[in-house]
Structure 1
């Protein structure tokens, strides 16, 4: 019974989540091989060179972006299907599929990057923390004080819990490896060309809208998992997490990011998001949460505890789904 459960889609996902939580992305492997996300990025760059020429009109650039999105999704889904078929001919291929799926999850790598900001505070003070946080956010680090750096790190943990952990898991459950790879390709495209500036407003339109749609359910599931984790996290407040999410998430400029960010803010008694500076320009955004005190280094550690327990809740859900299959 246990082996049959592990070979189900949910069982393979549960194993993949465990592999990722324990092993993550081994540098020794990816220093020798290109990460699949890098390959997606190369394809996106190729498409932009061909279809996002500055001399083209807005309509042509939008059509080019649509063509790229369709090509990217089709190629990623096809690769996922081929990988699934290949491992099906191997003994214990479900274990190999779990290992492949774990490559596209980001629990350990996200934890390590956010924890590096807290460690930098301890060893190098604010300048070191600014350098560390600049590796994971696009805002100008020199404009950030301790509260700004801490909020940026915590917001990264919350938002990327949704699109780096929950969403890939969700789409694996829905579509197996084809669904998982298609989602990761789309999410990579959104991060590269989904910006609302002159260069990408038209060309990245399709990728940005499809990414919003693909994350619609996972973002809300992420909030639910954070609520659940807050019940067992020392010092966290699950009721405040629920209240902040239901009150503030819809006010965020993103249709999805506000859900995990508001849930995290409420659980920890903080205010997250708000006005931020990107490339010298201030982006006005609503505050998530109603906490009175600004975030500090210790709050990053508290957020990481909450993040780990939310990941644990996701693993538990996948395991229960496998047993019920």
Structure 2
């Protein structure tokens, strides 16, 4: 059986959340995102978009071909894996589905990346913190002070609450491991080619827009879940999180990223956004939230708690839904 019933989907999603909490990003076998990245680069080399750099429409069509090819291969491969596993034994099909859905989630991995910034910050090792910030953001990090390093980590955790947790689970509930993996492929495409620079502004257009479309509803669901998480956690303000989304989210250049970032800023009582430096050029990002106090390393921990709060709410929700409809 390739397609599972809704009660089965709910249990698979719950299992995937728990697996990610315990295992995190697997070191072995090779993480599917690594294979997706290799596939993207291979298809990009085959399409040779650089040959048509003076023909933007042609390059855009090649970018559409890249997106369709990668998404189709990832969905079909996952579908065949689930089908073969289920044909061998239904419980193996469940195990394979739960495992691969868990690899599309990255709650533990996101926490670990944030803690790599937090621990040296509180120990006063700013250069080490800057190094680890450079692993999770694209901006220049060599001149960041402690507050700016904290901001970068908070923004990363907040923004990725959508694509490292809520979005893959939404698509897992809609179409199991194959659709969750299709989403992860779309998100990886955006992270690799969805840039507005000279190389990818046309070739990565379809990948970037696809990611925006797929995240549109999950981002707004994430905002509501973050406000609810803030309601349940100490030192966070749910009402301010909700208000911040309505006031600030639209200022962000992304149609989706401003929602979780402004929710986190409101919940914590801090201001996110501001001046970032990319390749030596300063860029002013939309400022979100009210600066009721200065940013500090402890805000990284609070944002991670917000992330885990959202995952606990989702886990409780899918279990409750399973109990109601089973």
TM-score band w.r.t. shorter chain? over 0.9
Once the 2 structures are TM-superposed, how far is the Cα of residue 279 of structure 1 from its aligned partner? 1.7
Q: Residues 243-322 of structure 1: matches in 2 within 5 Å?
A: 243-322=243-322
Task: Deviation per CA, 1:220-272: give whole Å up to 9, x if none.
Answer: 11111110110111110000000001111111011000010000000000111
Distance 1:49 1:96, change over 3 A: closer
The gaps in structure 1 that reach 5 residues or longer are none
Kindly tell me the number of residue pairs found equivalent between the two proteins: 318
Confirm or deny that 1:41 pairs with 2:37.
yes
Which position in structure 2 is the counterpart of 1:106? 106
Other structure's SS at 1:142 match: coil
2:128 maps to 1:128: yes
1:100 shift after superposition: 2.1
Structure 1 residues 6-85: aligned runs within 5 Å: 8-27=8-27, 29=28, 33-56=29-52, 57-85=55-83
Structure 2: 5+ residue stretches without partners: none
Deviation above 3 Å: which 4+ runs of structure 1? 4-7
Distance 1:209 1:52 in 2: 21
What root-mean-square deviation, in Å, do the aligned CA atoms of Structure 1 and Structure 2 show?
Answer: 1.7
Distance 2:46 2:274 in 1: 37
CA contact (8 A) 1:5 1:11 kept: no
1:6 CA drift (Å):
9.6
Distance 1:206 1:216 in 2: 15
- Secondary structure in structure 1 of the residue aligned to 2:51: coil
1:5 is displaced (CA, Å) by 9.4
The reply on whether 1:92 has 2:86 as its aligned counterpart is no
Query: CA separation in 2, counterparts of 1:208 and 1:155?
Result: 19
> Pairwise mapping of residues 165-180 of structure 1 onto structure 2 (< 5 A)?
165-180=165-180
Q: Distance in 2 between matches of 1:324 and 1:182?
A: 29
Cα contact 1:5–1:322 (8 A) shared by 2: no
Kindly state the Cα deviation for residue 88 of structure 1 after the two structures are TM-superposed.
1.6
- Alpha-carbon separation, structure 1, partners of 2:144 and 2:217: 32
- 1:58-77 deviation line (CA, Å, top 9, x unaligned): 11111110001111111111
Q: Is the 8 A contact 1:227 1:241 kept in 2?
A: yes
SS at structure 1 position matched to 2:202: coil
Shift of 1:151: 0.5
Preserved CA contact (<8 Å) 1:170 1:218: yes
Q: What is aligned with 1:138? A: 138
Give the C-alpha shift of residue 18 in structure 1: 0.9
Task: Tell me whether 1:240 sits opposite 2:240 in the alignment.
Answer: yes
**Is the contact between residue 51 and residue 61 of structure 1 (CA under 8 Å) also seen in structure 2?**
no
Q: CA, structure 1 residues 161+147, in 2 after alignment: closer, same or farther (shift >3 Å)?
A: same
Secondary structure in 1 matching 2:136: coil
Q: What is the CA–CA distance in structure 1 between the aligned matches of 2:124 and 2:35, rounded to whole Å?
A: 35
